[in-house]
Amino acid sequence: MDTTTTPTVSAGTVTRPARRRDRALAVLAATAATLAVWVAAVPVAGMDLVARNGGTEQSVTAVAVAVSTLLAGLAGWALLALLERFTARARAVWTGVAGVALLLSLLGPVSQGAGTVAILTLVALHLVAAAVLVPLLRRTARR
């Protein structure tokens, strides 16, 4: 007779593959959310989303939004994974760092947005990304 055993997982424990999957889904969800905001603002509302870079103005494209959100999400994931290896308080430290990173990231739109509507939309993109990434990645942290 062949028997297989299934490892038991307690309510507070998440397996490594599940943690990776949940973190990947968090990054993808944040990217989808920011793209939804961009679609609502640019093609649907007809807004010209422009950011100043030095002396030039540059349109903020869907690709730029997606890549920026993906990179921010992956950086958050990497930092959380590192903190889990080196500190017992990874969740609390990561949450604090994420909050500071959000505040610092808002300096870009405020200083580089071309016009009030562009500034507000760029700020909204940052807030939406954080609203998805911070709670979802935080939830995956080891307790």
Reduced to 3 states (helix: H, G, I; strand: E, B; else coil), residue 124 is helix
* Residue 125, φ and ψ in degrees, nearest 5: -60, -45
Question: What's the average model confidence in pLDDT over 3-12?
Answer: 51
Q: What is the pLDDT of residue 5?
A: 53
Task: Kindly report the length of the chain.
Answer: 143
Q: What's the pTM?
A: 0.86
30-77 confidence digits (pLDDT tens): 999 999 999 999 999 999 898 888 788 899 999 999 999 999 999 999
C-beta separation of 143 from 83 below 8 A: no
Say which amino acid occupies 7: P
Band (pLDDT 50/70/90 cuts) for residue 79 is: very high
Question: What's the average model confidence in pLDDT over 81-104?
Answer: 96
Show me where the domains of the chain are located: 16-140
> In terms of Cα–Cα distance, which of 118, 108, 137, 134 is closest to 37?
118
Residue with the two structure tokens 């979802």: 136
Q: What is the pLDDT of residue 15?
A: 79
